[in-house]
Amino acid sequence: AQSVTQLGSHVSVSEGALVLLRCNYSSSVPPYLFWYVQYPNQGLQLLLKYTSAATLVKGINGFEAEFKKSETSFHLTKPSAHMSDAAEYFCAVSDPGAGSYQLTFGKGTKLSVIP
């Protein structure tokens, strides 16, 4: 069965510092991977997705993520944090080998940006 682990339920960074949000997955075959962002009292928005075309995926708002098969990881990064990046971030996996296309979400990482 597919699963997603996000290390750190809460991450704090200073404005202008590197953002690194960690995501590890388990899957029987190379999966499809997604990062979503959620602002308070809103739904989720897609940041980026990995679908095997390239290991480094660029998303919106300056975020990017790198797929590392050997580490089963898909960490999200941004070189310089902005106050508007404060939100909750969810990693999700879709595993074609599981026989069901439903997404499995991690528990989320809340990002705080300190001025």
Options 14, 28, 51, 61; binder of other proteins; rule CB under 8 A: 51
Binding mask 29-48 for other proteins (x = CB under 8 A): ---x-x-x----xxxxxx--
- Count of CA atoms in the C-beta half-sphere (13 A) of 74: 31
From 20-28, 58-66, 76-84, 99-107, span contacting other proteins (CB under 8 A): 99-107
Options 8, 102, 112, 114; binder of other proteins; rule CB under 8 A: 102
* Binding status of residue 54 toward other proteins by CB under 8 A: no
Separation of CA 73 from chain center: 10
